[in-house]
Structures are given as structure tokens and as C-alpha cells.
A and B are shown apart, each in its own frame.
Chain A
Amino acid sequence: MLTIKDLYVSVEGTEILKGINLEVKPGEIHAIMGPNGSGKSTLANVIAGKEEYEVTHGSITYMGEDLLEQSPEDRAKAGLFLSFQYPVEIPGVPMVNFLKTAVNEHRKHRGEKELTAGEFLKFMREKMEMVDLHAQLTNRSVNEGFSGGEKKKNEIFQMALLEPKLAILDETDSGLDIDALKTVAHGVNALRTPENATIVVTHYQRLLDYIIPDYVHVLYQGKIVKSAGKELALQLEEKGYDWIKQENGN
């Protein structure tokens, strides 16, 4: 589904990712862990197509096609979803309008009829229950005045609406209390199918108690320095990132 080969990425002339290799297959859950500043968000953003990140070497293939050739919106419509670490506020744009536009862009792309306002509201209500998002929030402007936790729930809510093939959750757990964490995890698990894949980017292992990964990768200084099964997350929890730092010579 997703194949990353020897990926090097720079931002404003600084090399941040230094030779990433990653293979994600349908149905799999991959966790990417690592200390702050190691390049996790950079990797997520490059996959989503953020412009300021320059790919200097390597390739990303998604669903058999060269992902780097595609615009961010085309990637999104091809089923790629990013739950942002810091969801941005868009003042004056009602959530409902934003979501309806997004859903209908996806539907158009799939050759389906666009939903009317009424149809959309119905569809939206079903999905809202899944993440226990307060109905009032959809009347507000996009992310405006949302608490940290609400913003994260809102990301998963959008994921539920857009039904992606590959979802990347960038620190979706940070800032969540345990109940919110469980709700988010429940949402992610409920959306899971044998065809879908998820990449969970996280700093802590606690989310991985609820979303059980098939693989755990440790990203450090722009490289994946360790890959293993879910037990690696527990090891990291126990030994801390210093263990990785020491193994990698600083």
C-alpha cells in the first residue's frame, strides 16, 4: 500500500529525514515512536504533501503510484488521511460547511453523487457518536475555540467521515485525558478493516495499549533505528529514549 524507499527530506536547507525505509500493507498498524524533534511530523507531512518539505532523494509509492507526483488534495482523495498534531483554526468557516465540502470532494472523486445538506447532516450525526463529539462543535468555525482534546477528537471525526485507506495519526494522543484517549482509540479501532492501514505517530506508548500495533519503529535523528513488534513499545516505555540515544552513540 505504502512503500517508502531511502527517503531524504530537507526543510529550509536542513536535512531532517536521512534515509527512511518503510513498507505498510493493507490491514496493518504501524507505530512510529521517537523523541521530540526526531522527524516524525516531518515524515507525516511529507507523505501528506506539505510543500515546504523538500524531498532530496528517495521515493514514496502509494497504491502502486508515485505519491510525490500528486497534489495534497489528490493524495487525500486517494484515501490518505493525516490527523494533524496541531489542527489549524479557520475562523468564520463553519465546521459543517467545511466537512460537507470535504466529503463531497471525495464523493465526486469516486464518481458518487454529492450529498445534499440534509443527507450530509444525517451521515454526520452517525459518525459523531463514534467519537463522542459534542454536536455543538459542528456549528462552530473549524477548530475555533476547541480545547486541545476536542481538536484531536475532531480529527478522528473527520477520519470517520472520510473513511481513508491509509490514516496517519500524528500525536493524536497528546493532550488527551484517559477517557478521551479511549474514545479516540475506540474510534480508530472501529474504523479498522482488512483493507485499511494506520500509522500511529506517538511519543508515548500509552495509546498503544488501546491501538495494538503490528510493528513499532523508532525514529531517531531522521532515521529508523529500530523496528520490531509491539513489544518494542513496552521496552521503550521501560528503558526510555536514552536507551536509543546511547545505542546510537550520543
Chain B
Amino acid sequence: MTDQDKILAEVTQSEYKYGFFSDIETDIIDIGLNEDVVRTIWEKKKEPDFMLEFRLDAFRKWQKMKMPDWAYLKVPPIDFQSISYYAAPKKKPQYESLDEVDPELLETFNKLGIPLEEQKHLAGVAVDAVIDSVSVKTTFKEVLAEQGIIFCSFSDALQEHPDLVRKYLGQSVPVADNFFAALNSAVFSDGSFCYIPEGVKCPMELSTYFRINSANTGQFERTLIVADNDSYVSYLEGCTAPMRDENQLHAAVVEIIALDRAEVKYSTVQNWYPGDKNGKGGIYNFVTKRGVCRGVSSKISWTQVETGSAITWKYPSCILLGDNSVGEFNSVAVTNNHQQADTGSKMIHIGKNTKSTIISKGISAGKSDNSYRGLVKVLPGATNSRNFSQCDSLLLNDTCGAHTFPYIEVGNKSSIVEHEATTSKIGEDQIFYCNQRGIDTEKAIGMIVNGYAKEVLNKLPMEFAVEAQKLLQISLEGSVG
């Protein structure tokens, strides 16, 4: 082992910094899944009738579906009957001030470095905190309400705006879209809902911090964002999870709908527990994220920084239905130790003159596998459409893997689709150059990797970009060889 390898090995083995577990009282239903469980969830949440139909329809379809096996992932068998499908904090408190908030919860946020206290004052950021599937705290609601913006937990939306939810739910991601989306549709317990009315530019970044907390509770969040004509919103999703031994399943669904000339920016920093250095434990993350640019000249952009989870299966996509609509996908995916990621994007061009861009930066370390999988499909009617895809992979050693699976289907002659891909290994010369200037290897790797991912990081809102940079550094602590 060379000195550098030793340093790398040492840092790689630094434990997950956000690994802790808070002990908030939760109300969990028995494990297992059947129609009764689906009904129980619906009852417990006192949802409108249409939701029961929605859930049961999804459940029945799910029962006939199989887990997808086409991804470049080794997924251990998951026993869907050994999971509890509902967990909620026992009492749903109404907080007037922070003094009333469960100190355990505050402590949790403190450990994450995002105390609610600060969040409230954080310029322009409203926080809808999701703990174990149910919203516990919503802030800035009033400010937003003045503009007619709705930003609340999914449960609240179902109580207060059932018609809006009914109109748009399942429009981007149909209940039977895929195995995990169907499961989510059947059992999701909560999430966020956001509606930006016509002509309104949301004055602040809307932000949600997800957190997985109870043992053995699958997480099934649902997010629905609707941007009406000529509106704009930037939405942030960030998460981190406690250290845990058993594997935890996560299957979220995010749906976005952009109407005429509306723009939605969706940014994610994902930092779930990736398992220990031997590949034990960690979150299984099977996410369906899709946006429909339904209106003319609408725009949806996905920006993600993925550093966590033992397994990531995730393809934020855009359906470019409206003429002149624009889709973007910007991604940094880091895998270390035994992590596996199969992630990428789908851009479906249906409207005329539609444009899409995919920028994917994969960073692999340890014994991990990092795959980019992308589909660019231009339908015959989507004349004069364009896509540009750039997929870069950076390897930090010889034991990790990077793979690229681009699928391109172009259905007309006036459209142009370009795909570029590179794979490179982190330069020992670059690290030595930094060392010679007094910068240790760990910091050097952090710097080099952040430089490599800069194009994507620059797309993140400021406060998120800073967090993301730190995260990249933390998750790669020592990984060259």
C-alpha cells in the first residue's frame, strides 16, 4: 500500500457524519401490505374519497407488477410484506413558537446543522419539514399565502385543496408507471404540495428537508408541484438520514406540471445513509421524478447532487409536450465504498422546437458502481428539436466502476441530438501539485472534485451550493488509489 492509498483508506473509512437516530414517539401500523392496509392508511389520514380509489387502483396494479431488473444494480431481495407502511408522529402539534416544538426534533435539526430557528430567519427560505412521512412543521406559509401560493404538506393539501390535487395527481406519473411508482401511489403517507398561481413568481426558494427516522418504515413521499401559466418557482429538496443497520426502502414520487410559459427549477441534495464501509446497511432509493412541460414555452430543470444511499435508482425526466418547451437535467452523482447508483434522465420531445440538455457528472470511489442511463426520444411531430447530452465519469481509483448507457431515438430529420461522454481518472499530478502547495490529499480531492462538478453545482441556488460542496468533500473523504 502506498502512502496515498493509506491516507485514502483512512478517510474512506470515516463514518457517516450525520449518523444518529432520534427518538420521537411514533405511531406505526403493523407490517405487511394488502388492501386493508391501504384502506387503513386512507382512513388514518382522513383523505377524500377519490384518494381511496387512487390508492386501491395503484395497489391492484402494483400486485401484478415485478420489480424492474434492467438497471446495473445488485438489489438484494426486498420483502415488501416485512415493511410497515405507515408511521406518524403520535400527536400532530400546532406550533406557535419553537418552545412548543419537541426538543428531540430540534436536536435532530441541530445535528443536521439546519436548526429550525435559523431556518426561519434564513433569507427567503420556507421550510416544510417532513419527519417520518408526516409534516410536522410548516413555516412561511402566511407570506406565501399572500401571493396565493400554496405550499403545504400533501395531507393538508388533500384537506384544504382536494380539487387541485385531484386535477393534477397522477398526471406526470400515472399510478402504474412503474413498480415503485405504483407502490408509492398505493401507500404514500405524506409529502409536499405546491401550487403557484398564474403570473406569480415565487419570491423565495421553497425547501423541504426529508428525513427517515423510524426503524423498518419504508418511506413513500409524494410531491406534487404545479406551476400555472407564467409562473416561476425554485424548489429545494434536501435530506440526510440516521445511521442504521437494516436496509431501508425509499420510493418517492415527485410530479411537476408546468403550464404555459411557467418555469420550475427543482434542486436536490441527497445524502442518505449509504451503508458502512463494508456495504452493510444503507438506504435503497427508488425514486420516480417526472415533470411535464405541458404549456408552450414552459421549462423544467432538475438539478441533483447525489451522494447518499446504498442503492440509487433514479431518472428525473421531462416530457416536453408544449411547443418550445425546455427540459434540463444537471447531475452530480457520487458513489463510494459499496454504493451503487444507476441514475440519469429521460427527455421525451413531443412538442415542436423543444430543447433539452443533460449534464451528468459521475464520481466513483471505493468499490462502488456508478452508471448513467439516459433516454432521449424525439417523436416524429417534435420537429426542429434539440438535445445535448454530456456524460462525464471521474474515477478515483481502480476498484470502482463507471458505466454509460445512452439510448437515443430520433423520429424526425429536422431535430439534432448530440451526445458526448468522457471517462477520466483523478490526476495524481493534480493531487501532488496541491500537496506541494501545502494542501493535504483529502482537501485536494475535495477541491478537484468540486471543480469537476462545478458546471452542475453552479446551477444550484447559493445556499444549497455551499452545502453540496461540503457534502462532496465529506462523501469522498480519502478515496484515490
Cβ of A84 under 8 Å from chain B: yes
Q: In the bound complex, how far is the Cα of B422 from the Cα of A91, in angstroms?
A: 14
Closest Cβ–Cβ distance, residue A161 to chain B (whole Å): 9
Residue interface bits A115-155, CB-to-B below 8 A is 1, else 0: 00000000000000000000000000110000000000000
Chain A residue nearest to B457 (CB atoms) is: A92
Q: Which of A25-33, A101-109, A207-215, A227-235 is the interface stretch?
A: A101-109
Q: In the bound complex, how far is the Cα of B443 from the Cα of A86, in angstroms?
A: 22
A72, A77, A92, A101: the one contacting B451 at CB < 8 Å is A92
Do A72 and B450 form a contact, CB below 8 Å, given A51-B4, A88-B430? no
Do A93 and B433 form a contact, CB below 8 Å, given A51-B2, A73-B438, A73-B439? no
- Interface residue count on the A side (C-beta < 8 Å): 30
Do A91 and B452 form a contact, CB below 8 Å, given A73-B439, A105-B439? yes
Chain B residue nearest to A92 (CB atoms) is: B451
**Inter-chain contact A93/B451, CB cutoff 8 Å:** yes
**Inter-chain contact A84/B440, CB cutoff 8 Å:** no
**Inter-chain contact A49/B435, CB cutoff 8 Å:** yes
Do A90 and B439 form a contact, CB below 8 Å, given A51-B3, A51-B432? no
Cβ of A48 under 8 Å from chain B: yes
**Inter-chain contact B450/A101, CB cutoff 8 Å:** no
Interfacial residues of chain B within 1-49, with CB under 8 A of chain A in the complex? 2-4
Q: In the bound complex, how far is the Cα of B451 from the Cα of A97, in angstroms?
A: 11
Q: In the bound complex, how far is the Cα of B433 from the Cα of A158, in angstroms?
A: 12
Interfacial residues of chain A within 203-224, with CB under 8 A of chain B in the complex? none
Q: In the bound complex, how far is the Cα of B431 from the Cα of A48, in angstroms?
A: 13
B3, B429, B432, B447: the one contacting A93 at CB < 8 Å is B447
Q: In the bound complex, how far is the Cα of B434 from the Cα of A106, in angstroms?
A: 12
Do A93 and B450 form a contact, CB below 8 Å, given A51-B2, A84-B433, A87-B433? yes
**Inter-chain contact B436/A90, CB cutoff 8 Å:** no
Interfacial residues of chain B within 408-466, with CB under 8 A of chain A in the complex? 427-430, 432-441, 443, 447-448, 450-455
Q: In the bound complex, how far is the Cα of B439 from the Cα of A102, in angstroms?
A: 6
**Inter-chain contact B452/A101, CB cutoff 8 Å:** no
**Inter-chain contact B438/A92, CB cutoff 8 Å:** no
Interface centre among B437, B447, B448, B453 (most CB of A within 10 A): B437
Cβ of A98 under 8 Å from chain B: yes
Q: Tell me which residues across on chain A come within 8 A of B438, comparing CB atoms.
A: 73, 76-77, 102, 105-106, 109, 162
Q: In the bound complex, how far is the Cα of B197 from the Cα of A117, in angstroms?
A: 41
Binding site for A on B (CB under 8 A): 2-4, 427-430, 432-441, 443, 447-448, 450-455
